[in-house]
Structure 1
Amino acid sequence: MNSAAPSQPVQAESAKPAKLKLTPTERRASTTLALLFAVRMLGLFLLTPVFADAAKTLTGGSNAALVGAAIGAYGLTQAILQIPLGMASDRFGRRPVIIGGMVLFIIGGIICALSDSVTGVVVGRSIQGLGAISAAITAWVADATRPEVRTRAMAMVGGSIGISFALALVLSPLLVEIGGLSGLFWVISLLGFVSLLLATFIVPVVPLQVPAIQSRPRDVLRNGDLLRLNFGVFCLHCILMSIFVVAPPLLIGLGGFTTGTLWKVYLPVILASFVAMVPVVFYTETRHVHKQSLEWSVAGLAIVMAIMAFATQSFTAIVILFVGYFVAFNILEALQPSLVSRVAPAEHKGLALGFYNMSQALGVAAGGAVGGLLARYTSISAVFLMGAALAAIWFFTARSFKSPT
């Protein structure tokens, strides 16, 4: 009896880590979906660093408002279609929705590649945005993973997005120099085709956890925790876009970089922050401290943004703070969709993530607009202080969040 008793805790402890390992199916699904998301996002990010300058070769390229419309058209149609396509993925499955979305993405890219005017790019980008599949991809990750390891899987997706962003900063100037703006759009269309192949043939089939039924928006809108998470992702991406309104000129001025060499700052910052984020994700899952990690990360975001406002004269300080910012950003980018998938009813995950991704798109639009206005009429520090204030408000709403069981 005495010899058997001590062995039981040991067995329980040895079983626990095994439970938290990704199964082969979970690992394959998470890896391929992260790759799918990364390739698609690379296709989107490639345009951002160069279009304002490269558009000058097109008819209407000197019209700043039209150029802005071409950049923002994608986000607008994305925001409108996230909910309907999220609902469709609940009813018809994730793969058909994603395949249809990627076909639209490819068609839109081809229209952009063949256009000789910014107006044509606006049309093409709008069509690309109609393939609003972020909710379906995220729901597919949730379908394929257990709650115990889901944040880790979401972190793989979030990290792949960060790496795609860094690669885009490096590759887009080179691609435009080699093939012009048209060549860049052909590469974007090719990346869309690669994503289509991944979704069609590589990502493993994962059946929905419950029979697909007609989703009801009011079921999701009435959930206070989902609304808090939607507000959170709005804040997160509003802050992100406002930062990137002022970060390039700030880094160029402080560090003596050019637009073409800023990747030397962005790439190590994003990679370092991703490495620092991984232990936090593992700790969150093994200790089941999702609510605490949410609060700590938002609080850290607010503190970093506040310090940034007073460090705009030091290149070293800004770079260190950027690492801290992206650590918090990457944690929240992984943690929040995982929590949405756990809070939402199983039959409404696509719908809930549709609302979530719509909130994200609205945050992107708001951050660019507000950040631009503050930078133009006040100062760079005001942009960072706005981000700190928004994160502080978010922190108090996050404290009311009830961690899912």
Structure 2
Amino acid sequence: MARRSKANRVPFTSLQKKILLALASVVGLRMLGLFLVLPVFTLYGLQFTHSRFLVGFAFGSYGLTMALLQIPLGRLSDRIGRRKVLILGMALFSLGSFICAVPHWFPSGMQIGVLIAGRLVQGGGAIISVAFAAVADHIQAERRSTAMAILGIPIGAAFIIGVIGGPILAGIFGTAWLFWITGVLGLGTDMLLAHYLPETPPSGAEPAPLAGIIRTPALLALDAGGFLMNFFMSTFFFYFPLIVTGRYHMKMTQYYEVLLPMIFISGITMFLFTRGADHGLARPLAAIAFLVFLPSAVLLFRPALLGIDPNHIAAILAGGTLFYIGFTGLEPILPSMVSRTAPETAQGSALGVYNSMQFLGSFAGGSIAGAFAHALADTGMMITLFIASLLGSALMISVRAKKESPVHETASAS
């Protein structure tokens, strides 16, 4: 049977391959713009202000506009077509990147404001859900799952390349160059879209109502889980350069020495998490992943409580590895739980709401981390993460999925 299904599988046409290349470039570069600067953004922001709160706000403001515009732009693409919205979104992303590269061109009192404005504009190109929807427009149903997986590859690659390569490039050329690079690549992606992505007429159908989704307790719990997951991510990466540079005196070009082991170990555990989730253990594994953030918070902020010398590199290695294990465990499981819980007719909208809550969590994490860092209240940050960890675990335990079928390939097309 397996041989027969493979033989009957319809190959991608030349045009479909070009469309997937353009869409994969959009998705990958969109996320690369976020991941490249994650490990170094805090130090970059502190060049323009002494307020760690404002740096944290700038760090998270990218996620704020992403959260606010994810659903509206997805619905706009239903009305005017995907191609126009994708090109507009990437143009905004490039414009925001260029603004983030030039705060030093302005008077010192305006510089942090310019950086915040650039991050807000960057996030304004909230086109991830539109890119996934474009796949459904151009790829036949029997190949759509493969196409969605192809779009997922650049997201994973962007994460690895960004968090490892970003500090190295920033250490050699300066952090501003990261924004110049992503801005130029974004414009190049617009040319790919204009050349390879056909204009499709809007469906004319009314978008599915959101009222039923936001009133479903299980989906609300998962949305809150996505919020908390990205809250942890923003918090970790806001503090990471402060810890490794301030406590261990590492240069940005040396960050990979601690990040590579974290990513390698979490890559193995992510595979184990996803395998377990495929065997019906998604809910308890998600609850465990949130609990992993508890010892991570202690090791990052008060390692002496666990008998580890704060000045020993083992504290950040262990704390960071536990963060990565929890984060990479949740990243694939939570969207799967959303799609299994949402009604068949509203999976795209449900994932759109979930993605918006994720980005809102990124904004909240950066802003709150900046506030605690400005007040030099590391213990307060640790306690906040404790509460968030326990809350996330409790939310996952409370979820009851309505379906047991695997995720449909159209689930991400919001």
What amino acid is the match of 1:356?
A: Y
In 2, Cα distance between the equivalents of 1:204 and 1:269?
41
Number of aligned residue pairs: 380
Residue by residue, what CA displacement relative to the aligned partner does 1:151-187 show, whole Å, maximum 9, x if unpaired?
x766665563343233233443454455545533321
Q: Does 1:264 align with 2:260?
A: no
How far residue 191 of structure 1 moved from its aligned partner, in angstroms, is 2.0
In 2, Cα distance between the equivalents of 1:264 and 1:146?
43
In 2, Cα distance between the equivalents of 1:176 and 1:306?
31
Residues 98 and 137 of structure 1 are in contact (CA less than 8 Å); yes or no, is this contact kept in structure 2? Answer: yes
Equivalent of residue 236 in structure 2, options 234, 243, 247: 243
In 1, Cα distance between the equivalents of 2:45 and 2:365?
23
Where does residue 168 of structure 1 map in the other structure? Answer: 162
If the length of structure 2 is used for normalisation, what is the TM-score? 0.73
How far residue 121 of structure 1 moved from its aligned partner, in angstroms, is 2.9
Residue by residue, what CA displacement relative to the aligned partner does 1:81-116 show, whole Å, maximum 9, x if unpaired?
122112112333333221111111122333344552
In 2, Cα distance between the equivalents of 1:108 and 1:403?
41
Q: Secondary structure at the match of 1:73?
A: helix
Equivalent of residue 105 in structure 1, options 89, 93, 98: 93
Residues 294 and 332 of structure 1 are in contact (CA less than 8 Å); yes or no, is this contact kept in structure 2? Answer: yes
In 1, Cα distance between the equivalents of 2:19 and 2:337?
19
Equivalent of residue 229 in structure 1, options 218, 222, 235: 222
Distance change (3 Å), C-alpha of 1:161 and 1:394: farther
Q: Secondary structure at the match of 1:402?
A: coil
Q: Tell me which moved more, 297-306 or 309-318.
A: 309-318
Unpaired segments ≥5 residues, structure 1: 1-10
Q: Does 1:395 align with 2:396?
A: yes
How far residue 359 of structure 1 moved from its aligned partner, in angstroms, is 0.7
Distance change (3 Å), C-alpha of 1:308 and 1:54: closer
In 1, Cα distance between the equivalents of 2:263 and 2:321?
11
Residues 39 and 163 of structure 2 are in contact (CA less than 8 Å); yes or no, is this contact kept in structure 1? Answer: yes
Q: Tell me which moved more, 139-148 or 300-309.
A: 139-148
Where does residue 7 of structure 1 map in the other structure? Answer: none
Q: Calculate percent identity across the aligned residue pairs.
A: 31
In 1, Cα distance between the equivalents of 2:204 and 2:357?
27
In 1, Cα distance between the equivalents of 2:131 and 2:91?
15
The RMSD of aligned alpha carbons is: 4.1
In 1, Cα distance between the equivalents of 2:92 and 2:207?
24
Q: Tell me which moved more, 246-255 or 329-338.
A: 246-255
In 1, Cα distance between the equivalents of 2:267 and 2:150?
10
Where does residue 40 of structure 2 map in the other structure? Answer: 50
What amino acid is the match of 2:61?
A: A
In 2, Cα distance between the equivalents of 1:386 and 1:69?
21
Taking the TM superposition and a 5 Å limit, the aligned residue runs for 1:154-165 are 157=151, 160-165=154-159
Unpaired segments ≥5 residues, structure 2: 309-313, 406-414
How far residue 337 of structure 1 moved from its aligned partner, in angstroms, is 6.5
Equivalent of residue 81 in structure 2, options 81, 93, 98: 93
Q: Tell me which moved more, 37-46 or 176-185.
A: 176-185
In 1, Cα distance between the equivalents of 2:152 and 2:288?
18
In 2, Cα distance between the equivalents of 1:281 and 1:373?
35
In 2, Cα distance between the equivalents of 1:156 and 1:252?
37
What amino acid is the match of 1:91?
A: R
Residues 78 and 130 of structure 1 are in contact (CA less than 8 Å); yes or no, is this contact kept in structure 2? Answer: yes
Residues 304 and 321 of structure 1 are in contact (CA less than 8 Å); yes or no, is this contact kept in structure 2? Answer: yes
How far residue 189 of structure 1 moved from its aligned partner, in angstroms, is 0.8
If the length of structure 1 is used for normalisation, what is the TM-score? 0.74
Q: Tell me which moved more, 21-30 or 255-264.
A: 21-30
Taking the TM superposition and a 5 Å limit, the aligned residue runs for 1:4-403 are 11=1, 24=12, 33-55=23-45, 60-115=48-103, 116-117=105-106, 118=111, 119-141=113-135, 144=139, 150=145, 157=151, 160-176=154-170, 179-180=173-174, 182-202=176-196, 212-248=205-241, 257-274=250-267, 276-278=269-271, 281=274, 289=279, 292-308=280-296, 312=303, 313=308, 314-315=314-315, 317-318=318-319, 320-322=321-323, 324-332=325-333, 335=336, 339=340, 343=343, 345=345, 349=348, 351-371=349-369, 376=377, 378=379, 381-382=382-383, 384-398=385-399, 400-403=400-403
In 2, Cα distance between the equivalents of 1:195 and 1:122?
24
In 1, Cα distance between the equivalents of 2:248 and 2:200?
48
What amino acid is the match of 1:193?
A: L
Residues 100 and 131 of structure 1 are in contact (CA less than 8 Å); yes or no, is this contact kept in structure 2? Answer: yes
Distance change (3 Å), C-alpha of 1:41 and 1:244: same
How far residue 64 of structure 1 moved from its aligned partner, in angstroms, is 4.0
In 1, Cα distance between the equivalents of 2:98 and 2:129?
24
Distance change (3 Å), C-alpha of 1:281 and 1:243: same
Residues 157 and 334 of structure 1 are in contact (CA less than 8 Å); yes or no, is this contact kept in structure 2? Answer: no
What amino acid is the match of 1:382?
A: I
What amino acid is the match of 2:390?
A: A
